[in-house]
Amino acid sequence: MTAAARVARVLLAAALALPAAPLAAHDGPPFPIVSDAVTGPYELDVWTDPDATDDGTAGGQFWVMLRPVDRARPLPTDTAVTIRIRPSAADGAWDRARARPIDGEASRQFAVLVMDHEGRFDVRVEIEGGLGSGRTDAWVDATYDLRPPPAMLVVYLLPFLAVGALWMKLLIKRRQARAGGVGA
């Protein structure tokens, strides 16, 4: 067995030994769906990473950043944010989640909801707190995270590694042919 064949077999064995499940999932960067909206006594931004899932896990992530419209007043620590979503094509009930403060700051809150299919979802953000209440509506298109698992990188590289191994084999044969006087 040649060295190139041994390398190819080792690489193939390594690729087959890797798990098919993602090793380190990454959902991509969030993006804004509401920017500098004023609702009641609040100004807010809403960012989302709307990943749809088939297994019932919560993949729709929402970040809410709040500020009082009157900058002289502080944002009360009891300010609560509720995120509601529903498919835009249906007039059914809203799924909801209570946002939790990030690092204990009421001005930055986070919630996760299940988006069970691809498509447009209506989003409603409701705020209740010491300054009063507010509500804003938006929409977002949920999509499946289509990035391949990191283990697939090995599978994608195999054809290139095989071509490289064959090229090296050809170069070695040419060098041996020149050195030994044997015709190619």
How does pLDDT run across 124-152, given as a tens digit for each residue? 999 999 999 999 999 999 988 766 677 78
Q: Provide the pLDDT for residue 10.
A: 60
Q: Provide the pLDDT for residue 122.
A: 95
Where is average pLDDT lowest: 32-41, 90-99, 103-112? Answer: 90-99
Quick one: how far is CA 156 from the chain centroid?
21
Q: Which among 127, 116, 157 is positioned nearest to 45, based on CA atoms?
A: 127
Q: Provide the pLDDT for residue 90.
A: 80
Residue 9 has pLDDT above 80, yes or no: no
Q: Please state, as a whole number, how many other Cβ atoms lie within 10 Å of the Cβ of residue 51.
A: 21
**% residues pLDDT > 90 (the chain):** 60
Distances in Å between the Cα of 31 and the Cα atoms of 34, 40, 117, 171 are 9, 24, 19, 50
What is the DSSP-derived secondary structure letter of residue 94? P
Q: Provide the pLDDT for residue 180.
A: 79
CA distance linking residue 173 with residue 116, whole number of Å: 57
- Residue 104 phi/psi, 5-degree rounding, is 75, 10
